[in-house]
Amino acid sequence: MVKSQEHEHPKKAFGWAARDSSGVLSPFNFSRRETGEKDVTFKVLYCGICHTDLHMVKNDWGSSTYPLVPGHEIVGVVTEVGSKVEKFKVGDKVGVGCVVGSCQSCDNCANNLENYCPKYILTYGAKNHDGTITYGGYSDFMVADEHFVIRVPDNLPLDGAAPLLCAGITTYSALRYYGLDKPGMHVGVVGLGGLGHVAVKFAKALGVRVTVISTSLNKKEEAIEHLRADSFLVSLDQDQMQAAVGTMDGIIDTVSAVHPLLPSIALLKPNGKLVMVGAPEKPLELPVFPLLMGRKMVAGSNIGGMKETQEMIDFAAKHNITAQVEVIPIDYLNTAMERLAKTDVRYRFVIDVGNTLKHT
Ligand SMILES: [Zn+2]
Ligand SMILES: [Zn+2]
């Protein structure tokens, strides 16, 4: 007989789960494995709400399994470590992002690119090595192999640090890998949401000149005054867009809705790179001719490896970079999801799991 989620592992756990593609979340009893030799167990204090969570609870990508406990921007405090754990001790501030396992033997893993391992294990809704389902950070505690656990530097506030584990590394890795990290370069950021606003912060800290490209003028003041972007382009304003043609070394496109690529490609200098980090559920139209005329590139990037994720959060600590968050109690979760669907948040919801998750 198949054991229920509540009894398949020895440790009783509690969180909030979606039960079907309505996406409605509610309290859920399940279980987690014992702390293994190389495992770190930690009490979850905060968990960010990523746009992916919204797609997953509603099965927008067709890959969801239920019950689904989302959450892959998880921070907390270590409560137990296995006998062979080397990097962490009880009381340490730690985090887990999008990945909790990989084969650790392929070329990608050997090159610290666990995020591109064909056998990587996502933090929720995926299968563990033992075949059981992974559950994310909308829950009271996590158990993870120390290789997939990140140390959170002391000077970073935990609520604002949580989104760095997905939104932060996604944009940081894209800027670094594609070489859009040289002082004096001009980089555009399309979309000023969870990903976009941290992209601006990282790019500025790297010494890059940043232009935010958005459909709505009402984000201009925020982008310039608060996030310290150098300029702002309204993508629907033909005159503004025309004046900026051919001025950018690269663009980080964070938009997860279907949208045209041509306006962004036009903004690139020759050899410019348009890097997609959002995940629209339908294919986008790719105009090839403008790519040829200027040797331009449209590319993608997905989170980052464990080594780079640690590097990213250490860089964030050094430059005082955190996400701008709206902290919510967990019983506000369904309302938060509805607001997120309307992009009614500046810029990331973070659940105060530590203080508001109550066993029922
Ligand atoms: Zn995410
Ligand atoms: Zn691998």
Distance 149 CA to ligand 2 centre (A): 17
What pLDDT score was predicted for residue 280? 86
Distance in Å, CA 314 to ligand 2 centroid: 25
State which residues form the domain around 216. Answer: 167-300
Quick check: is 317 in a domain?
no
Q: How far is CA 294 from the centre of its chain?
A: 32
Same domain, 157 and 190: no
Average pLDDT score, the chain: 96
CA of 196 to the centre of ligand 2 (A): 29
In a domain, 5, yes or no: no
Ligand nearest to the CA of 47: 1
pLDDT value, residue 2 = 59
Res 29 pLDDT > 90: yes
What CATH number has the domain bearing residue 51?
3.90.180.10
Q: Is the pLDDT confidence value at 1 over 60? A: no
Q: Whole-angstrom Cα distance, residue 134 to residue 112? A: 22
Residue 113 reports pLDDT greater than 60: yes
Res 216: pLDDT: 85
Please check whether residues 15 and 157 belong to one and the same domain. Answer: yes
Q: Judge if 124 and 199 occupy the same domain.
A: no
Q: What's phi and psi for 10, nearest 5 deg? A: -75, -30
Output b/e per residue, 9-30; b: 16+ Cβ within 10 A: beeebbbbbbeeeebebeebbb
The ligand placed nearest to the CA atom of residue 107 is 2
* Residue 166 CA to ligand 1 centre (angstroms): 5
Say yes or no: 39 and 88 in one domain.
yes
Ligand closest to Cα of 115 equals 2
Q: Report the CATH number that the domain containing residue 224 is assigned in CATH.
A: 3.40.50.720
Tens digits of per-residue pLDDT, 220-274? 999 999 999 999 999 999 999 999 999 999 999 999 889 999 999 999 999 999 9
The reported pTM is 0.95
**265 C-alpha vs ligand 1 centroid, how far in Å?**
26
Q: Are residues 195 and 293 in the same domain?
A: yes
Overall average pLDDT of the 116-135 stretch: 95
Tally of domains within the chain:
2
Task: Tell me how far CA of residue 192 lies from CA of 18, 48, 83, 239, 286, in angstroms.
Answer: 28, 17, 44, 21, 23
* 161 inside domain: yes
Provide the angle, in degrees to the nearest 10, between the axes of the packed helices 194-205 and 167-177.
Answer: 50
Closest ligand (CA of 113): 2
pLDDT (tens digit per residue) in 173-193? 999 999 999 999 999 999 999
CA 295 to ligand 1 center in whole angstroms: 31
Q: Please check whether residues 156 and 231 belong to one and the same domain.
A: no
Residues 47 and 30 in one domain: yes
Sequential DSSP letters for 15-77: EEEE-STT--EEEEEEEE----TTEEEEEEEEEEE-HHHHHHHTTTTS---SSB----SEEEE
The verdict on whether omega for the bond into residue 347 sits within 30 degrees of 0, i.e. cis, is yes
Residue 155 sits in the same domain as residue 19: yes
Residue 316: the pLDDT is 98
Mind listing the pLDDT tens digit for each residue in 135-180? 999 999 999 999 999 999 999 999 999 999 999 999 999 999 999 9
Distance from Cα 116 to the centre of ligand 2, integer Å:
7
Shared domain for 157 and 179, answered yes or no, is no
Establish if 16 belongs to a structural domain.
Answer: yes
Asked if pLDDT for residue 349 goes beyond 60, the answer is yes
Q: Any idea which ligand is nearest the CA of 166? A: 1
- Would residue 310 count as lying in a domain? no
Indicate if 102 and 244 belong to the same structural domain.
no
Q: HSE on the CB side for 328, CA within 13 Å?
A: 23
The Å distance, Cα 72 to ligand 1 centre, comes to 6
- The verdict on 243 and 146 lying in the same domain is no
Residues 6+ apart with CB under 8 A from 135: 13, 15, 17, 30, 32, 69, 124
- Which residues lie near ion ligand 1 (Cβ < 5 Å)? 50, 52, 166
270 Cα to the center of ligand 1, angstroms: 31
